[in-house]
Structure 1
């Protein structure tokens, strides 16, 4: 994590788990005593948005920047002008949770003049169990569309192949095989292999990328 650039832009197709990853990433940064801002730029998906956990994040000292229209159920694509604060203030480590398709990534376009290549990483979250990103060619096509729309460069891959609470080691390894194919074809590094905390010690130790155990903050206890 400490090798990533100061601004981490997290994007991925709907159902990839990008918001869950973004939350866990921000929390891990805060546990390293970093000054953290989590910017929720997802104006596409109404559900499972990082802003829904604002109280939890604030308790951990994380600044949450989301829609300028308050209220979780308000479907208005209004992004707060506060987003520029963690971009321009280099004392922040920032995590941007971006909408999960090219339309959502378009939101990033307005900040293109402020985002310098030496100051950000844009990481693509891949779930090989999703039809839209289950082959190498589909993932590469998705990457190209995100780059064209956002006018920013993807810099790394995140394997987050999961079945929610039912995720097994084989799911993670299936995703690893896919992102490794994409990595070899594009030259992009595999940055993280995401897994439930209970699976961390069960994964092979020779995988490319860092093993990144997470908690399911976005899944309530009663959810499958």
Structure 2
């Protein structure tokens, strides 16, 4: 695969050159990183129905994956430990396999209506301890595993990205129908869509049925 030809004269290759381009970090920004959960971080986590988890693959390629559930789905086990239950997905197990190869993780907690986010960095392990998993059951269905995150760094991220993107502004919401469905996109990227429109409709209906019946 060809790579876009970047001009090496303008590439930044070390941190010193990078920092020379920007104003010095403010004292409060430098100090806002903490090592354990305080009351504010706990409340933000309790309110969050969504997070992104960043991991690194064995080949050192980066990966990020979404996790979503009812607010409070991430459990606080103690002041430095979180539990993220695994829910049914596509069974690629990218995040879990990455953690087994490299336990370093980064979490970004997002709360609808909040422009600020909470960032958590640490190391992760995977558990199938039934005592820990029991509290994450939904509709009687217990997750097969959970990700345990040992916190090393926590800080709240400012609102600029969300203010610029206007993420929560309904007037900026786009019409999902303007693009193909998920299954149509995947088929376009792999084996191709079926010629029969009725078959394509059945595939879309099957995906929606999975959403309705297999979230847990």
Could you tell me the TM-score, scaled by structure 2's length? 0.26
Higher helix proportion, which one?
1
Higher relative contact order (CA 8 A, sep 6+): 1
